Structure 1
Amino acid sequence: MKTIYLAGPEVFLPNAVTVLQERKSLCNSYGFHAITPFDSEIPLDHIRNLELARKIFLGNVELIQKSDIILANCNPFRGALIDDGTAFEIGFAFSLGKKIYGYSGYLLSLPEIVKRNVGTFPHSSGYAIDKDGYLVNEDFGNSLNLMIEFSIEKSGGILVEGEFEDSLKRLAEREKK
């Protein structure tokens, strides 16, 4: 049975443990063993400080190393782009040669996502500009930062338009062949 590491900002939900347990059960019903960032050997009674943060990081790295596949929530998080921790996990998994699957509720072009989630303004360059003064010029048709989107593609996985179960179904179809 292949092991899937579930990457994404769900760890920040108030009901994170329940949500991730439901997703682990769903993965099991598709014939996969799922692990989440909560599965590392870190006692929950630690004081919130840098030492705990370091242990969480090392625990997640170890879980990714043990996994066969990464399934990443690539929906915008607290802005227009993917959660930065999830982005790291995708890059780290790619460097290890892991297969990566991602999903997002919509796959619009990156400038459209920035416009929708952050807001943009006209600029003399012909590109829109965001509120911080950066050009929104990554307009190649990709929905994620190109380093993330093509890490998924190059790994042999795919980016699915849809929700968690939609991506799990596609993953199962491709991995059971």
Structure 2
Amino acid sequence: MLDRKIALARSYGFTPVSPGDLTIPETETRYQHGLAISAINESLMSSADLIIANLTPFRGISADVGTVFELGFMCARGCPAFAFSNCAENHFKRVSSLHGGDVQLGPDGRHRGPDGLSLENFDMIDNLMLDGSIAARNGTIITRKVAPDQLFLDLTAFEECLNLAAQRLLKTTARA
């Protein structure tokens, strides 16, 4: 998948960076190995000019926590941010499904699950901070509904992000 994404990014004129680009040094423990990977990833992000984040729910109802960190890291650097998800249901619908639809509108105007905790209901693909950070940087989140066996294989939405990023960055560059 990384090779396919790299080839697509290059076809749109980008020079992609990928965690697979660097060799991870030998370490004595798994913990140290994890720290080495983290340091490499931060170095790669520091060298990048934009992010296209995969917000497809991963092992739960929300995007991969590592990808969420990467998106925040890049946004904190002021980089353009784009994202995609191969799940078209918004966050509220996914959380509601988790609770079997047992979501009630409380007297305070907030939706609450059976655990009493409020649920975000902003018609956003994931947590409001993810959607908000991308919107604040003139980015876009592309969503698609794909077959369950294609959830992490279909690159159509990723390529749509590449196309939008190329169009917007070319316009920005042309004005500079």
Q: Determine the structure 2 residue equivalent to 1:156.
A: 138
* Distance verdict in 2 for CA 1:65–1:71, change over 3 Å: same
Q: Determine the structure 1 residue equivalent to 2:166.
A: 172
* Distance verdict in 2 for CA 1:77–1:117, change over 3 Å: farther
What's the secondary structure of 2:67's corresponding residue?
helix
Deviates more, 1:134-143 or 1:84-93: 134-143
Q: Determine the structure 2 residue equivalent to 1:89.
A: 70
Alignment of 1:106-125 (within 5 A): 106-116=87-97, 119-123=100-104, 125=106
Q: Determine the structure 2 residue equivalent to 1:20.
A: 2
Q: Determine the structure 2 residue equivalent to 1:137.
A: 119
CA distance in structure 2 between the aligned counterparts of 1:114 and 1:53, rounded to whole angstroms: 30
Q: CA RMSD in A?
A: 2.2
TM-superposed CA distance for 1:46, in Å, is 5.2
Q: Which runs of 5+ in 1 are unaligned?
A: 1-18
Choose from 107, 120, 127 the match for 2:111: 127
Q: Determine the structure 1 residue equivalent to 2:39.
A: 58
CA distance in structure 1 between the aligned counterparts of 2:80 and 2:118, rounded to whole angstroms: 29
TM-superposed CA distance for 1:128, in Å, is 4.3
What's the secondary structure of 1:93's corresponding residue?
helix
CA distance in structure 1 between the aligned counterparts of 2:11 and 2:102, rounded to whole angstroms: 47
The letter for the 2-side match of 1:158 is T
**Conserved 8 A contact 2:99-2:113:** no
Provide the identity percentage: 30
Aligned length in residues: 156
TM-superposed CA distance for 1:58, in Å, is 0.8
The letter for the 2-side match of 1:164 is F
Q: Please, what TM-score do these two structures have when normalized by structure 1?
A: 0.77
Q: Deviations over 1:121-153 (max 9, x none)?
A: 2457373416xx253520122221011111111
CA distance in structure 2 between the aligned counterparts of 1:115 and 1:152, rounded to whole angstroms: 24
Structure with higher strand content: 1
The letter for the 2-side match of 1:129 is G
Q: Which runs of 5+ in 2 are unaligned?
A: 145-156, 172-176
CA distance in structure 1 between the aligned counterparts of 2:22 and 2:140, rounded to whole angstroms: 27
CA distance in structure 2 between the aligned counterparts of 1:134 and 1:46, rounded to whole angstroms: 45
